Structures are given as structure tokens and as C-alpha cells.
Structure 1
Amino acid sequence: MQSISLRRGLIIVVLLVTATALGIGFTINVVSQVSQYQSSMLKRVSSYAKIIAGNARESVALNDNSEESQRLNSLANSPFVQHVHIYRVDPNSGELSFFSSYNKEGLAPIPAKFSKIEYLSEPRINDQYMEVAEPILLDDSVVGYVYLRGSNDEVRLFMWRAIAIAIAVFVITILVCWLATLKLRHRVIQPLEHIVDIASQVARDKNYTLRIPESRLDEFNDLGQSLNIMLERVQHQISRQQRAEKEASQLNLELEQQVTQRTKALRESNKELLATLEQLHQYQGQLVESEKMASLGDMVAGVAHEVNTPIGLSVTASTLLQDKLAVMQEKFQQKRISTNEFARFLDDCDENLSIIYRNLNRAAELVTSFKQVAVDQSSEIDRTIEIHSFMRDVLTSVKPRRLDVEKFPIHVHCAEGLSVITKPGPLNQILINLIVNSMVHGFDGRSSGTIDISFELIDDDLEITYRDDGNGVPFDIRKKIFDPFVTTKRGAGGSGLGLHLVYNLVTQVLGGNIHFFSEQQHGVEFIVRFPVSVVQSVKSIETIDD
């Protein structure tokens, strides 16, 4: 940024402010004076017109223009009047006619102003002349009009005279102000230069023992005292700093020795910490594998429970059929079988065989379903899955661990025929862990609840929205819900690895992301989104209730 000296700046500022103020003041004064003079000239024009109108009253009424022409010639003594027209109003038609006129010597006549009579009822002024039209009244009736044009030279002469006076006063005032500013500058700049010289010496030589002398101006005297106090404090601070530097150098030597000792100790501690951290990673992996094995154990227990029921019914039906067959064999040997007994025996055989077939078929379906889920859990290979069929297998595998199906239903919403290529194993574990989390934590202490699972294709991603209306997650653990070993069931069977496993499967195995929302007593919502390959287009939304 370009700098400017205080000497030149002070003169420029004072002269600029003075010139601006004088210019504005003189401009307003000249404009005001010229405006007032113009007003007085307009009144003068109007007065001339009224006098002429009064003198021409009888001549116009008698239609004697010779006498009026002689009277108008007397206006030659007035340098102000340039042109005068007198118009007569015809008593019959009311039209205006030219009656008499006066033109100043050396000026050409001007045309009649019949059309401007009404406009000139008030005096008008322009750059060249002033003009006005005054009615000639006789017994309160208009018998004619007087048009008068006067010279504007006096107004212009007055304006230039006023401007010349203003310029002369302006120049004199600026000159006086400049001389006064020079005197003031000398009184202000001299003590300021002393302060600048001392400050330069201090900055150049770093000699803080210098002091600023007193000044005749109170402001500079106060500034000098303040700078002297600052210099004294700086000198004192430098002395203290020098002493502190000596002490600091001594402390640095001691600290270097301590740092060397501490570094050796830290190296040994780091080795121990690295060994401990590696051991913790091993324990964490073992705990995650334990969680997977526990999930697989629950599934095996579910298989046993679900398969035992149809097999038990089949055993019971086959035993009953065997007993009835033994009775029929005995009667057959004794030749005591009647037609009705044989018919009832055949009906019983058909009914029991139907029971055996249905239950064995049910057991086969369960085994197939559990086998597929077990294969999916142990596999991370991409394959095609149909969402409806996949969710039926998942719900079947989790059914033995479910609460009351009627009080805690699970609703699945997805498009009909939706098939994608992804890793079914990680997806199966994600859904099972979320459902089990709702059963263990969300519906704890509740008599009813609902789980909603929605599937939606967005571009090349599959978005799963999982919601329940359970207890929600406490505020103090929401931010660390996916951290390992975070649980509200500590000491009651909870490991705190379920949602941590879900997070790892979503982000690391499926390459997606998961978001979590919850409010106390208003349930939870998990939004899982990961890339998939679409096998076929979807048709409509279908709901699976379980």
C-alpha cells in the first residue's frame, strides 16, 4: 500500500475539507441569490404587464389603437422590456385579434401568442427572456390581453457577478487556510519527528535505554510518556528473559538426561503393549468365532425341535397302524374278518399313511431349509438368491428362538420376483443377529411387538430397512452401538458382539454401509445398503407375514 507523509497529508486533508465546505456553501448561496433575483424579476415583469393592461383598458374598449401605440412607444426608455403585444377580444365572436404592439429597437417583431395566453397567466422564465400574459379588464369583463417579454440579461449578469465574488472569496479563504495549516503543521510535526527518530534508533540499535523528551503539546507529551513506560518495561522484560534463558539452558540439560532415561523405559513398555494388543486381537477373534458357533448351536437346537414334532407324529401314526395291522392279521388267520371291519381298516390305513406322509414331507422341507441356511452361513461365495425364498428360510431358522409368533410378528416387504446376486451367508447372519437383538433387547419386558423388514432396489444397491417398535437403545450407548463388547445384558448372557459382527459383515464382507436410528421407548431402525447384481426386474411389492 502506498504511504503518504503526515506533512503533505495534513495539508491535503485540511485544504480538501475546506474547499469542499466552501464549494458547497458558495454553490448554495449563489443558487439561492440567483433564485431570489429571478423571483423579483418575475414580479417586475408581472407589474409591468399589469400597468400596461390598466393603461390600455379605454383604448381597447374604444378600439383606438393609435393612442395605445403612442403610449407603448414610451417603453423605449426601459432597457428591460423587449416586446409588448396587446390583443383585443371580439365582443361578438370572442376571438382574439392583434390590436397594438411594441418592439425594442434593433429586435425583430415576434409572432402573436394567442395560443399561449392561458399558459402565460403566470410569469415564465427561460435562458433568454421572461414573458407573461395579463388580462385587460373592464367592469369585471375581459376585453383583451397584454403579452410582455422582458430581457433576461440582468439575471445572467447578476449570476456571473455572484459567481465571481464567490470564487474570489473561495481563493482568499483557501490561501488563508493554507498558511494556517503550514503553521499548525510545524507545531505538530516537530515533536512527532522527535518520537519517530527515537523509535528508529530503538528499532535499529535495540537500545531500550533511550527516552522521549517532553513536548509542549499535551497529546504528544502523553504519547511520549506512554512510549517511555513501554521502553522501560521492555528493558525489564529483556533482563528477565536473559535470566530465564540461562535457567532454561540448565533445565534443558537435565531434561535431556531424563528424556533419555524415559525413552528406554517407553521402549520396553511399548514392547509389552504390542504383545498385549496382539493377544487382545486373538481374544477378539476367538470371541467373534464363539458368537458364530453360538448362533450355529441355536440353529441346531431349532432343527432338533422343529424336526422332532413331525417325526414324532409320524412314529405315532405308524405305531397305531402297526397295532391295527396285527389285529387284522389275527382275524384274517381266524377267518373272522367282516366286510365293514376290512373297510374301516383300509380307511384307517389311508388316514395314518396320509399323516405319516405329510409329517415326513414337512421334516424333509425343514431339513432342506436348515441345510441351505447352514451352507449360507459357512459360505461367502456369491450366488443368486430369491428374496422371498431366502427370507422364508431365515425366518424358519430363527423360529425356534422366537417369542410368541402372534404377539411378536415379523413382516417382510419386498418386490415380487426380486432376485439378486450377493453373498447369502453374511446376509443371513446379519438378519438373524438383528432379529435376535430385537427379541433379547427390544422386546424385553414387553407383551407385544412388531418387526418390519423392507427390501428395495436403488440403482445397483440393495437397501434393507429393519425396524422394530421395542424399547429402543439407551442414549449413553447409541454412539458406540457397533463397538465390540457393548451390551445392556452384561452378566445376563449378552456378549456385546452381535451388532459388532453385523457392522463388520456389512462394511467389510458386503462392501456396504449401515446407519442406526433410535429413540427411547420408540424402537430402532437399521438401514443397510450394499451393492448387488440384479437378476431380473421386479413387479410389485409383496408382504411376507410370519
Structure 2
Amino acid sequence: MPNTAKFLSIKSLIIWVVMAITSLSLIIVSSVNLFSQISSYQAELQTDVTTLAELIGNGAISSIGLDQGAELETNLQVLAAAKIVENVHIYKIGENNELDFFASYNKTGIAPVKAKFEQAEELAIVTIIGGVAELIWPIYKDNTDLIGYVYLRASAETLEDHISQSILLTLSVFFVCIAICFFLTLKLQRAITAPIQTLVRLVQRITRQKDFSNRAEPNGIKEIDILIDAFNGMLERTQGHIQRQADAEHEYRTLNVSLEEKVNQRTLALKEANGELIQTLEKLHQFQRQMVQNEKMASLGDMVAGVAHEVNTPIGLGVTASTMMLDRLGDLRKGFEEKTLKASALSKFIAESEENLNIIYRNLNRAAELISSFKQVAVDQSSENNRTFSFAKLMDEILMSMRPKLKRVNHEILIHCADDLYIESKAGPINQIMINLIMNSIIHGFEFMEKGIIDIDIVMQDDKKICITFKDNGEGIPEQLRKRIFDPFVTTKRGQGGSGLGMHLVYNLVTQGLNGSISVQSETGKGVEFKIIFPVKRINPASLPKSALF
């Protein structure tokens, strides 16, 4: 912004303010005084004119009554002694109340004026116009009968002279006062600005020389002395601060010499410690990755063992049925060869064959379904690629792969998911997440319960994100454990086969594998609720081939 402050100084400010106030005050006082004098002069002139007109009217009463106009004009010549009187007319009220010119007086050298019959009312009071004062005064006989009028024209030169003298005197006094005020103002501003200028020069010198030992001298003006005392105090504190800073810098330089050597020694030791720490962290990360991998493989191993057990049952039944058919077929062949085969035996063989073949078909089909589900789950767990799938079908496959473990307990798992919900995402992380959550509820939440309930709600949000709400009615999670539930190696089954990596694996799969978020809410004795949200691409089932819908 422009520097306009340099055009305004304390000197000019004091002069302008004081002179402006003084001038305004003098103008107001002079104007009031001049107006008062002029009004007084005008009132005096009006009084003189009124008095003369009244005297002339009283003197003309008898002459008007006797109709002696010539004698009255002779008597009016005495008005020559009144310097202000220029013209006098005496009007008489004649017949029909009309005014007649009766007598007059005209000062020597002054031209007569015409009669003022029509201005009797207008000039009833003294009127001052154009340097003359005019008045028409009524003449009463016995103070009751109006017999005429006196017209008096007087000079107002004396009034104008008085006014001119008053104005001249007022202006003279005004300018004299202004000159005196200006002189005193200069003295005042010098008394105020001189110590300020001295202080400013001292500040400038200190700024240039950086010498804070200088001090300002008092000058006897209270306010400026207070400023000087404060300024000197600031200089003293600044000087002390600089001295302390110089001492501290000297001490710092002294200590720095010995400190550098210590720093070098500590730096070398720190580098060695950092190297050891980095190696320890790398080993820890390797151990953690190995533990996570072991957790995955242990989960997959449990699933393989369970599925193998499940597959053995239908295969065993199929083997038993097929062995029985072979035995019956041997008996049938023997009877046929010996020609002892009966129709009832053939009919019984056919019935048993149909029954055994149905047993074989059902159990083989069941084994095929188990193997297919296991294969899909195993592929999903080891795959990190996106694929299009039905979420409801994925949940069915997960539950089928967990069937061996779920058969051992009476817990109920409720899946709430739309059949037409097809998405494109990574099925492997979802598979591992759901297995870990379900097993976590079974092992920890339902540890002391005969029958627990797990509710899994799957809904879409804005066709861009999917929200999985996993709830159980188990024991819940204590507050101190809930805050660290996703940290590695946090478990309540230490020494009982628990590694503490299950929920840590879930957290990593959600946040890193699916780019989503997971939150937990739980209170002791009130179950647990996990909410998982991650982005997906929703697929319209109508755009998929029929083979992909099953």
C-alpha cells in the first residue's frame, strides 16, 4: 500500500489543529460580536428616527388644525440642525379621508422626494434601504383623532460608518489574534517535537550502530519523559538480553567442541544399534509372515482333513453297495450257469440292483459336490485375482467346506443375502475372512454355549460398495482386548493352540486385499458385531452366461 504517512508530521498536525480551532473560535466570536454591534447601531438609528418623527408630528398638530401650512414649513427649517434628516413631509387627512400634501422640508443639497401616500402602512415601522431610513408616523389630535401623517427620510450613512468601523476593527483583532496564536503554536510544537526528534535520531543511531548502551535524556514534559523512561528500560533489557545471548553463544561454542566428539561417538553407536534393530525387525517380519502363512495352511489343512472325512463316508457307502451288487451278481451268474435261476430270484436281484445303484449314485454325487466346493474354496484362498461370482453361492460353498467342523456343534448360521447379487471382486480374501470370523465365534464367542446364533447380512451400498455385517450372540469381547483385537499375537488361547494372528489376518485381508475397512462393536456378555465395507463392481445377472449362474 502507498506510504502516505510521510506527508503528515506532528509539527504540521499541531499547527493545523491549533490554528483551525483558534480560527474557528475567533470567527464565531467575531461574527457574534459584529452582529450584536450592527443590531445595536440599527436599533439606535431606528430609535432616533422614531423620536424625531414623533416630535415633528406633535409640533405639527396645531398648524394642521389651523391650516397654517406655510408657517409649518418655516418651523420645519429648524430640522437643519439634525444632520441625519434629509426630507420631511406632512400629510393632512382631508375630505373623504384622502391624504393631502400639507408641508415639507428638504435638506439643502438633497432633492425632494415624491409623496408616499400609498406607503403609509408599509412604512409604519422604520425601514432602512439603500443607505436611508424611512418612516411614516401617524399624527393624533388629543391622542384619539387621526389628522395626518409625518413622513421622515433620514440618512443611514452614520450607521454604515459604524458598521464599516466595526468590521475593520473586528478583522484587525482577528488577524492580530491569529498571528499571536500562530506564534504561540510554533513555540508549542517546537517544545513537543524537539524531544521527539531527539528521540527519533537516537533510535536511528542505535539502529545503524547496534549500540544499545545509549540512553535518552528527559526534557521536563511528563508524557514524553514517561516515553523516554520506557524506551530506556527497553534498551536496558535489550542490552541485557544481547549480553546473555553473547554469553550463551560463547558457552555454546565452548561446549560444542566437546559435544561434537560425543555426538560422533553416539552416532557411531546409534548406527550399530540401528543396524541390529533393522535386522531384528526383518527377522520379526519374516517370522510374522511365516506365522500368517502357517495360519493359512493350518486352516486349509483342517478343511482338507474335514472334507476328506466327509468324502470317505459317501465313498464307503458306494463301495459297500457296489460290493453287495457284485455278490448278488455272482449268485445270479451261478444260478444261470447251473440253470437253477428262478424268476423270483431275478426279480429280487433287479430290485436290489436298483436300490444299490441309487445308493451309489447319491453318495458319489454327494462326494462330487463336496470335492467341487472344497476345490473352489481352496482355489479362492490361494487366488488374488478378481472373478465374477454369486455372493450367496460363495457363502454356501464356504459353509459346505466348513461342514465337518460345523457338524460337531449345534450352532446356527443365518445368511441374509439376495440370490441375484453378483459381483466382481476377489473371492479368496472374502473366503478367508468369513472362515476366520465364523471359527473365531465358535472357538471364543460360543465357548461356554450349547447353541449360538451367527447372523451374516450382505447388502449393497450405492451399487459401488458392499457391506457385510457379522453378528453373534456370544460372550463378546472385553474392552481392554477390543482395543487391540486386530493387533498381531493377541489371543485369549495362549498355550492352547491359539496364535493370535486370526483377526490380524482378517484386518490385513480387508484393508490391503480388498481396499476396505473393518470396525468392531462389542460388550462383555452381549455378543460381537463386525462391519466390513469394501468396493466391488456389481454385475447384472442378465449379462452373464447361464453357466456362470450356477
When the two structures are superposed, what TM-score results if normalisation uses the length of structure 1?
0.60
Per-residue displacement from partner, 1:500-520 (whole Å, max 9, x unpaired)? 33344445445x322324243
The aligned residue for residue 2 of structure 1 is: 4
Find 1:435's aligned residue among 430, 435, 438. Answer: 438
Are the equivalent residues in 1 in contact too, given 2:423–2:536 (CA < 8 A)?
Answer: no
Distance 1:5 1:394, change over 3 A: same
Are the equivalent residues in 2 in contact too, given 1:429–1:502 (CA < 8 A)?
Answer: yes
Distance 1:189 1:412, change over 3 A: same
The aligned residue for residue 300 of structure 1 is: 304
Offset at residue 299 of structure 1 (A) = 0.7
Offset at residue 317 of structure 1 (A) = 6.2
Distance 1:366 1:495, change over 3 A: same
Per-residue displacement from partner, 1:199-248 (whole Å, max 9, x unpaired)? 33322223232222223222322332233333333333333333332221
The aligned residue for residue 224 of structure 2 is: 220
Taking the TM superposition and a 5 Å limit, the aligned residue runs for 1:126-145 are: none
The aligned residue for residue 266 of structure 1 is: 270
Offset at residue 250 of structure 1 (A) = 1.4
Offset at residue 337 of structure 1 (A) = 8.3
Are the equivalent residues in 2 in contact too, given 1:313–1:359 (CA < 8 A)?
Answer: yes
Are the equivalent residues in 2 in contact too, given 1:507–1:514 (CA < 8 A)?
Answer: yes
Distance 1:191 1:355, change over 3 A: same
Are the equivalent residues in 1 in contact too, given 2:432–2:506 (CA < 8 A)?
Answer: yes
The aligned residue for residue 378 of structure 1 is: 382
Task: State the distance in 1 between where 2:304 and 2:535 align.
Answer: 29
The aligned residue for residue 197 of structure 1 is: 201
Per-residue displacement from partner, 1:517-536 (whole Å, max 9, x unpaired)? 42434632333323447364
1:431 maps to amino acid: M
Per-residue displacement from partner, 1:349-380 (whole Å, max 9, x unpaired)? 65555344323322221122112222222233
Distance 1:411 1:79, change over 3 A: farther
The aligned residue for residue 117 of structure 1 is: none
Distance 1:401 1:205, change over 3 A: same
Taking the TM superposition and a 5 Å limit, the aligned residue runs for 1:215-294 are: 215-294=219-298
**Paired positions, count:** 409
Per-residue displacement from partner, 1:323-361 (whole Å, max 9, x unpaired)? 99999999999989896x987786666555534432332
Task: State the distance in 2 between where 1:538 and 1:435 align.
Answer: 33
Find 2:470's aligned residue among 460, 467, 470. Answer: 467
Are the equivalent residues in 2 in contact too, given 1:421–1:535 (CA < 8 A)?
Answer: no
2:531 maps to amino acid: F
- Superposed CA RMSD in Å reads 5.0
The aligned residue for residue 78 of structure 2 is: none
Distance 1:354 1:255, change over 3 A: same
Are the equivalent residues in 1 in contact too, given 2:510–2:518 (CA < 8 A)?
Answer: no
Per-residue displacement from partner, 1:142-188 (whole Å, max 9, x unpaired)? xxxxxxxxxxxxxxxxxxxxxx9xxx999999999877765543333
Taking the TM superposition and a 5 Å limit, the aligned residue runs for 1:388-399 are: 388-399=392-403
Are the equivalent residues in 2 in contact too, given 1:303–1:367 (CA < 8 A)?
Answer: yes
Find 1:518's aligned residue among 513, 517, 521. Answer: 521
Task: State the distance in 1 between where 2:203 and 2:491 align.
Answer: 70
Find 1:527's aligned residue among 513, 528, 532. Answer: 532
Identical aligned residues as a percent: 42
Are the equivalent residues in 1 in contact too, given 2:482–2:522 (CA < 8 A)?
Answer: no
Task: State the distance in 2 between where 1:368 and 1:286 align.
Answer: 29
Per-residue displacement from partner, 1:39-68 (whole Å, max 9, x unpaired)? xxxxxxxxxxxxxxxxxxxxxxxxxxxx9x
1:377 maps to amino acid: Q
Task: State the distance in 2 between where 1:272 and 1:349 align.
Answer: 74
Taking the TM superposition and a 5 Å limit, the aligned residue runs for 1:89-104 are: none
Greater CA radius of gyration, 1 or 2? 2
Equivalent residue of 1:188, what SS? Answer: helix
